[in-house]
Amino acid sequence: MKYVAVGIICLGLAAWGGIANRHAIIIDLLSTGAPPQLNPATDEGTDTVWFDDYFTIQSLDAQTFAIGEPRYAQQNYSYLIVGSQRAVLFDAGPGFRNIRKVAESLTELPITFVPSHFHYDHTGNEITFDRVAVVDLPYIRARAVDDRLILNVSEHLGSAEGVAAPTLNINEWLAPGSIMYLGERQLQVLYTPGHTEDSISLLDLSSGLLFSGDFIYPGPLYAFLSNSNMGDYLAGAETVMNHEATVTAIYGAHRVRPPGAPKLGLNDVKDLRTALNNIRAGNAKASGLYPREYKVNERLVLLAEPEFLQDWQPSGKELNELNN
């Protein structure tokens, strides 16, 4: 019911403010502009420990850690992936608390922060890192004078919770399809846009773990935001499926409920690809007005714009090809 009411208001305002401004209007309507209240601590089962009263740590294997923020409204999970020479922190949460000290408690190796994308609940914001690596896309590189990237409002969306956009000092550019060498561990950078144009996933080539950011996680997937694109989402799903021989499990950046880190399998990506193909062909059922809600499977719902606003022309077509 809430969605119907919001949908009517959003569509009315979108018409009034102009279709081109709909994302800004909708984000303002859905946001409070202030940080949310913390939820009570959760029962996370036996293989997760509380680092303090806010962060949790779950060992996925001896050198891979899910760092959870289960009390934050969006229940973020970031991943510390440790090699023999350096470590990667994939996402940094909303910066509600300082995730850096959690990561540094788990390894003495130098840590490179890699955002899965530039939304405020992944970039850590006021937290600073010694090393930062981001996706190498022409439009992003062109903006980064002296490797300093000022995130813009529509790719950061921090106004939703009153968070100012950070400036990232970039040490390393990650070309789609390239490999990050962490010593004996290798992570392949998969360009998986759709949720946003700047979204990447990291694939651990030896364990087959895929860290997918907001591209896919159990729960509602947001494909109606300012730089979402349905054609990109389908291309991203194809890219992951091109690595089906390698992928053993998928860890996303949000979950709906406890316990533990949000885990999916390759079948979920396959179902997402099927759903996207059905939506494009006009064969998918949806509920709600704005966003339209497409059920993918028992774990996934895709939230998209109404059919007449869906964009199926991939924005990163050439990069999608580079990936494969």
DSSP for 125-154, written as a single string:
TT---SEEEEE--HHHHHH-BTTEEE--HH
C-beta of 57 vs 225, nearer to Zn ion: 225
Contact 81, 185 (CB under 8 A): yes
| Shortest separation between residue 214's beta carbon and Zn ion, angstroms | 4
**Residue with CB nearest Zn ion?**
119
Position 60: which residue type? L
C-beta of 44 vs 197, nearer to Zn ion: 197
Rounded to whole angstroms, the Cα distance separating 239 from 218 reads 19
Which residues lie below 8 Å from residue 267, measured CB to CB, with a gap of 6+?
none
- 3 state SS of 48: strand
Using alpha carbons only, give the angle 100, 104, 106 rounded to the nearest 5 degrees.
125
| Shortest separation between residue 275's beta carbon and Zn ion, angstroms | 19
Rounded to whole angstroms, the Cα distance separating 17 from 119 reads 24
Binding mask 92-121 for Zn ion (x = CB under 5 A): ---------------------------x--
C-beta of 214 vs 232, nearer to Zn ion: 214
C-beta of 168 vs 182, nearer to Zn ion: 168
User: Applying CB under 5 A, which part among 10-18, 21-29, 141-149, 211-219 lies near Zn ion?
Assistant: 211-219
User: Applying CB under 5 A, which part among 97-105, 208-216, 234-242, 275-283 lies near Zn ion?
Assistant: 208-216
| Shortest separation between residue 255's beta carbon and Zn ion, angstroms | 14
C-beta of 106 vs 215, nearer to Zn ion: 215
| Shortest separation between residue 195's beta carbon and Zn ion, angstroms | 6
| Shortest separation between residue 272's beta carbon and Zn ion, angstroms | 16
Binding mask 117-146 for Zn ion (x = CB under 5 A): --x---------------------------
By CB under 5 A, is residue 161 in contact with Zn ion?
no
C-beta of 119 vs 292, nearer to Zn ion: 119
- Helical H runs in the chain? 2-17, 22-30, 99-104, 138-143, 153-156, 230-241, 266-280, 317-323
272-284 burial, b if ≥16 CB within 10 A, otherwise e?
A: bbebbeebeeeeb
Number of residues that bind Zn ion (CB under 5 A): 2
Position 124: which residue type? G
Contact 69, 75 (CB under 8 A): yes
Contacting Zn ion (CB under 5 A), which of 44, 155, 214, 232?
214
**Positions in the binding site for Zn ion (CB under 5 A):** 119, 214
